Structure formats: C-alpha cells, structure tokens
Structure 1
Amino acid sequence: MTWDPRGKVAVVTGASSGIGDATVRRLAGVGMVVYAAARRTDRLEALAAELPGVVPHTADVTDQDAVDALAARVRDERGVCHALVNNAGIGGGVFNGRDDLDDALRTLDVNLGGVVRCMAAFADLLEAGAPSRVVNVASVAGKLGIGPAAYAASKFGVVGFSEALALSWRSRGITVCQLNPGYIETEGFTQAQIKRTPLGRLVGQPDIVADAVADVLASGRTERTVPTFYRAFVTLRHLAPPVYTAIARRMARSGGTRD
C-alpha cells in the first residue's frame, strides 16, 4: 500500500537549521502538517511564516517535560502522529579525559537521550496514526566510530535503538528507520576539517538528507545511508577491518576532532 503523505501529521526535531530545516520544507512541500520543534523560537516562527502547514513549537529534547508538552499539543490538536523525525543533534568535541566529561555527557544526552525521550512520548500517537513512520537521523559515524568519541557513541546508540525498535514496533504498525548521513555541511557541522582534504568533494548538502527522509517515509525502509556510496566504507569496515583501520588512521578525524 502506498504511504500518501498529503494531510498527514509530522513532527521534526532540530528544525531550526540544517537538515531539520530542509526536512520541514520538504515535508511541508508534499502536503504534510509539520510540527517544527527546536530551541530557537525566532527561526521556527520565520519558517512557519514562510511555509503554510508548518506549526512552530519551541522545545529542548533534553527536557522530558518539554518533549511531553510537544506530544500533548499534537495529541490535543491532531489526535495522531504519522511521522516522527528525530533529527536534533550536536557534534561534541574531543575526549581526552576528565575535563571533557561534561561535553561528552551533553552530546550523549542530546543525540541519544533526545531520541529515546521523543519516541517514548510519541509512541501512542504513532500507533494511533498507523501505518506510521519514525526516522531517526543517526550518522555514518554510528557505523564506523571515527571522530569525536561521544558523538560516535551517541550515533551508535541511535543505530542500535532504531534497529531493535524496527523489529519490536513493527507489530504496532510503526516503521522505524535509521537514516545515516555521511559528511553534510550545516551550520553546526561546517565540515571545514574535511573540506581541507581530498575528501572534501564528498561533502553534501542538507537537501539530499531531506529527500532521503521523504523517500523512507514513502517506502517504509528501515535503514538508509545517504549519499549511498558511504555504504562502501561501512562494508569495508566489516569485511576488511585491517584495511579500513589503515585508511581511518590517515584521516584527520582519527584524532577525535571534527574542526
């Protein structure tokens, strides 16, 4: 059965810039009612003023009360949620010891804890809207473990959480997808470090991830890598670990940074 997005209700976190902003635009463009959630109210209101069908809602995904309030609003105003896109995330920094602990825990809380909180808050609404979709924006870093350690750990967590729920929530009519972007240039992830190397040509823009979100909503896929060629790196990691490690050690991000 074709999943028709027109008139369906979507919630997108991290919606004030980058992949979130592009995703809101893409979903609103195909006729969805989109609750755009993030911390920066001014940007959300500007987005809503530009795009009919976008509902701005200020929320921090590390605050359970704020996430519950978002779910309560969607319940009161729409009664269901057909699509939840967990996109809110931060990059984190190098982890060398005790001085970096707070940054690491914050990264884990936003990137992984935020996904868990949102899925807990919206589970019943998603079931009410079945067949419904969850798209958790993870990362190729959640498959390879290179770059800032806490960021990689958080994305590995999102991948595992998504994979497990893709199995256990299927009977509820809810499809859970792990969407794994490669290097994407955004306000929070400028990719300046990568762009100084020959790999700079691999850096993509948020629109290609937004298109992938729309695609997995329609198709019901449970895993997607974007751009697709990054799957080769993941395959190499599992089939030829020594070769992968030799290559990874030569990359700038093997030092645990992303700047």
Structure 2
Amino acid sequence: MTWGPDGKIAVVTGASSGIGEATTRRLAGAGLTVVAVARRVDRLEALASDLEGARGRVVPHAADVTDTEAVDALAARVRDEFGACHALINNAGIGGGAFTGREDLDDTLRTLDVNLLGTFRCLAAFSDLLEASAPSRVVNVASVAGKLGIGPAGYAASKFGVVGLSEALSLSWASRGITVCQLNPGFIVTEGFPQTDLTGGPLGRLVGEPEDVADRIAEVLRTGVAERTVPGWYRSFVAFRHVAPPLYRAIASRIDRAGGERRA
C-alpha cells in the first residue's frame, strides 16, 4: 500500500534535540501531526512554537522512555486524542561510557535501559494502535555501532539489540500491516555526540548532520523498507566486517574508539 504523509499521526521520541528534533521538523513540514516526546518539555514547547507555520503541527509531550507507566500514558493520550498512530520513531538514546568492570555497571545498565528497553516499552505500548492504524511504520534508530561493535560496550550492545529487535519484528509484524525498519546512522553531530574528535581532522567527511538522518527517516516512512544506513556508503564497512573478519579486526583494533571509550 502507498503511504503518504498528509493527515498522518507520528510519535517521535528523543525529540528535544539532534536527530529527534530534525525528524520532528522534517515530518511536520511534510504535513504530519507529530507528538514530540522527551524529558525536556521546555524545548519541545519551543519547537512546537517555532513550527506553527508548518503544514503539520507539533504536540509536545513530556515522558521518559525508562518509565513504563509514562510510556503507557503517552500511548493512551495518542489513542484518545488522535485515534491513530501511523508512525512510531524510536529515537531516544544516550551514549554511555566505557565498560571496564563493576564500577561502570550502573552507567551501562542505564544505557541499555534507555536505548534498548525504552524501545521495547514504546513498541509494547503502541503495538495495538499501530496495527489498528495500518498501514503503519516503525523506525527504530539504531546505529552502525550496532553492526560493528566499536566504542563503549554498553552502547554497542544496546544498538546490536535494537538491530536484532528490528529485524525480528520486520518479519513477525508484517502480517499486522506494520513495517519495522532499523535505521543505522554513522557518525552524526548531535548535542550528545558532538564528534569534535572527528570534525576537526581528516575524517571530518565521515560525519553527517541530523538533517541527513531525518531525510532518510522520511524516505523510510514513504517506502516501508526494513533497513537503511546513513550515509549509505557506511554499508561498505558492514559488508567488509562480514566478508573479511580477520582483516576487519586488524584494522578496527587501530581505531581510537576500539578502546571502548566514548569520544567527545
């Protein structure tokens, strides 16, 4: 079935900055009503005010994806107020630090709770409404780190989990009229990931902007594809990982982030 934006209802988590903010702007500009979700409601309200002249509109909603009751309340509001959810963009995420032992456990568990379990909570809360609104879309913002495993272990594990979850649901939810996509950004400059160690050097060309990801999300909503990498040429790294594992590991081990730390 074709999927057009006009009159559709979308929910975007992590909407107060970065990829979530850019996606909210992109979708509202295309004519969707976007329920913009984050903890920082002041930023959401400023975003809604800024987009008052857009074809669609933005509805701010404060919620923490680690709070099951808050996520259930979000889904109930969308159901009661709009009667549908045509697109769910699970974007809320954090980076976390290195995992070296017991002293890092709490931080690692927090990363898993936000990035992976938060995605599960949103999918659980919205699954019935998505089915009732079919054809509908789910876009889970994972990461190339969920394919290659370079960087903080907790972050990589959470994104590997999102990739696996997305792949499984893309198969099992298709019969419900719900397409599920794993959207895997490479290095993108955001508030939480400034990428300053890359942007000022020769690898700066590897770094993208949140708007690049927002454009791909809009494309995924139109097409219903099950996987997209941003920028697209990052897929060559993933292919290289599987085609030549020993050579990949030899090269990857020389990358600074292979030490398991998060760079500024």
Per the normalisation by structure 2, the TM-score is: 0.97
- Cα distance in 2 for partners of 1:169, 1:2 equals 18
- Counterpart in 1 of 2:155? 151
Q: 1:195, CA displacement in angstroms?
A: 3.1
Query: Counterparts of 1:21-170 in structure 2 under 5 Å?
Result: 21-52=21-52, 53-170=57-174
Q: Is the 8 A contact 1:36 1:55 kept in 2?
A: yes
Q: Is the 8 A contact 1:193 1:258 kept in 2?
A: no
1:172 to 172, 176, 179: 176
Describe the superposition over 1:26-73 as per-residue Cα deviations: whole angstroms up to 9, x where unpaired: 000000000000000100000111113100000000000110110010
Q: Is the 8 A contact 1:184 1:206 kept in 2?
A: yes
Instruction: Mark the runs of 5 or more structure 1 residues left unpaired by the alignment.
Output: none
Q: 1:192, CA displacement in angstroms?
A: 2.0
* 1:198 lines up with 2:206 in the alignment: no
- Cα distance in 1 for partners of 2:197, 2:248 equals 20
Aligned partner of residue 124 in structure 1, secondary structure: helix
Q: Is the 8 A contact 1:80 1:129 kept in 2?
A: yes
Aligned partner of residue 117 in structure 2, secondary structure: helix
The Cα RMSD (Å) is 0.8
| Identity percentage of aligned residues | 74
- Cα distance in 2 for partners of 1:221, 1:117 equals 23
Q: 1:201, CA displacement in angstroms?
A: 1.7
Deviates more, 1:70-79 or 1:197-206: 197-206
- Cα distance in 2 for partners of 1:110, 1:35 equals 19
Q: Is the 8 A contact 1:191 1:258 kept in 2?
A: no
Q: 1:183 to 1:194 in 2, by over 3 A?
A: same
Instruction: Mark the runs of 5 or more structure 2 residues left unpaired by the alignment.
Output: none
- Counterpart in 2 of 1:248? 252
Per the normalisation by structure 1, the TM-score is: 0.98
- Cα distance in 2 for partners of 1:239, 1:196 equals 31
Q: What amino acid maps onto 2:157 in structure 1?
A: A
- Counterpart in 2 of 1:15? 15
Q: 1:86, CA displacement in angstroms?
A: 0.1
